[in-house]
Amino acid sequence: MATGRDGHVILGINVLTLGYLPAAWQTDLLTPLSPLEPAYWRRIGELAERGTLDAIFLADGSQLGDPTYDGNAPRLDPTIAWSWVARSTRRVGLIATASTTFNDPYELAERLLSFDVVSGGRAAWNVVTSRDQGSANNFGLTDVLGREERYDRASEFVDLVIELWNSAASGRDVTHHGRFFDVEGRLTVPPSKQGRPVLFQAGGSPQGRALAGRVGEGVFAAELTLESALEHYREVKQNAIDFGRSPDDVKILPGLLLTLGSTEEEARRRSDELHDLGPASYSTQWLSQAIGFDVSTLPLDERFPDELLDGPLDTTTFRGSIGFRQSIFERIRQTRPTVREYLRETRYTGSGHGGFVGTPEQLVDRIEHWFRAGAIDGFNLQPDRLIDGLEVIADEVVPLLRRRGLFRHEYETETLRGHFAASSATPVLR
């Protein structure tokens, strides 16, 4: 067990445009065009900064989402959306997801560093690889790259982007001739207030965790249980040590799906109502996509078969997140629910990412328990409906964390890397 923690937890918000549930748009608080209006994005930034949150995340995608399990089919380029938010905020970090599969390293390095400069040193890049067929087709490819090749490309891509960012400070040309990329030159963008963007990594595969330990400064993890979170935390921190880094150089922030209410009963009622407003097949479709198996073919009132839970994974054909799949299967093995019970349970406990349904006080209990146990450096919170869920986090959750000495009362630093450095001290790993 980890002991001796000080500082504060890191809190981010995963801005899934409207919220993580498909029915998030069905509220009088929004209009159909809200996510396309500057005022919506400005409000998100202002609420996050009102709560002195460390950062807000925005995902990217190269194809329209499937509304059966994705409530955010329209996508805006994160660097463009966050550039607008940067105008109305001063301190909150702005994290943009961008794929190493369908981007060019020179162009992306230039775009992200430019964004970091104009935001005053608040930018971060969440590194992902793309695995979906639709995105490949949009780029004129017949199929997406295999998993091993995607991660090999990602590793070289990240190293090259870092070289290019360093060239902005040193003024020296980069000469790179690798397996995937050839670059000779340097960036003409100057260094930012924090030097260069912070690097996040979001993969749970062995390759992803190794990349996080080698160069990552933050990990957007997927954890359903405290035990698996502890194991992942120790693995990535040890990876950092093995690469000659301090374990405090990389911060672990699991996602946490949230539904909050003034009472637990109210929170459960809200969760049920939002789920019932969405597609009837939402949970089944999402789970099938996450584990690479058609859950609708399983008997609802029987347990998940052992051959599914314990069978080998063919990583050459499975295109989902290995981290999500491992997290889901571990939870199923622990509780041994029927298929019907698990699909119902995911309304309250999450699927892939952990879930929480309850009061702000209960949420703070959860955050404190995992933080004190040494399983996290913070959480990347994902409200069911962002427009009012973020307000509760800023005005009710954060004050409770402050009273327990777990969060700052005001910003003490100006850059995102500064926020991380001023946050929690990594405990001794045992």
pLDDT tens string 51-91: 999 999 998 777 666 665 565 656 788 999 999 999 999 99
Residue 32 has pLDDT above 90, yes or no: no
Question: Is-contact 305 333, C-beta < 8 A?
Answer: no
Nearest CA-CA partner of 430 in 247, 234, 235, 253: 234
Question: Is-contact 49 90, C-beta < 8 A?
Answer: yes
Nearest CA-CA partner of 44 in 77, 75, 87, 73: 87
Residue 316 has pLDDT above 90, yes or no: no
Q: Residue 179: give the domain boundaries.
A: 10-265+350-421
Position 377 scores a pLDDT of 97
Question: Is-contact 25 395, C-beta < 8 A?
Answer: no
Position 144 scores a pLDDT of 76
Vertex 287: Cα angle to 285 and 289 (nearest 5): 70
Residue 103 counted as domain residue: yes
Mean pLDDT in the chain? 89
Share of the chain above pLDDT 70, in %: 93
What average pLDDT does this structure show over 247-258?
Answer: 95
Helix (H, G, I), strand (E, B) or coil at 153: helix
Residue 149 counted as domain residue: yes
Residue 361 has pLDDT above 90, yes or no: yes
* More confidently predicted of 145 and 300: 300
pLDDT tens string 261-278: 999 999 999 999 998 998
CA dist list (Å): 283 to 63, 279, 351: 21, 9, 9
Separation between Cα atoms, residue 12 and residue 261, nearest integer Å: 20
Residue type, 182: D
DSSP secondary structure code for residue 119 in this structure:
T
Q: Please list, in sequence order, all residues whose beta carbon lies within 8 angstroms of the beta carbon of residue 39, skipping any fewer than 6 positions away.
A: none
Nearest CA-CA partner of 218 in 194, 252, 243, 191: 252
Position 428 scores a pLDDT of 46
Q: What is the bridge-based pairing of β-strands 182-185 and 123-128?
A: unpaired
Specify the CATH number for the domain of residue 129.
3.20.20.30
Nearest CA-CA partner of 165 in 129, 123, 206: 123
Position 362 scores a pLDDT of 98
Separation between Cα atoms, residue 342 and residue 331, nearest integer Å: 10
Residue 429 has pLDDT above 70, yes or no: no
Helix (H, G, I), strand (E, B) or coil at 280: coil
Separation between Cα atoms, residue 429 and residue 231, nearest integer Å: 11
Position 65 scores a pLDDT of 63
Per the structure, the count of domains in the chain is 1
Position 148 scores a pLDDT of 84
Position 5 scores a pLDDT of 59
Residue 1 pLDDT class (50, 70, 90 cuts): very low
pLDDT tens string 279-294: 878 788 878 888 989 9
Nearest CA-CA partner of 346 in 357, 362, 336: 357
Of 37-41, 127-131, 301-305, 347-351, least confident by mean pLDDT is 347-351
58 bridge partner residues:
15, 96
**What is the per-residue DSSP string for 82-120?**
HHHHHHT-SSSEEEEEEESSSS-HHHHHHHHHHHHHHTT
Q: What is the pTM of this model?
A: 0.89
Residue 137 pLDDT class (50, 70, 90 cuts): confident
Query: Which two structure tokens, joined as six digits, stand for 395?
Result: 């005005």
Quick one: CA dihedral 13, 326, 306, 316, positive or negative?
positive
Q: Per DSSP, which regions of 100-141 are E strands?
A: 123-128
Other Cβ atoms closer than 10 A to 145:
18
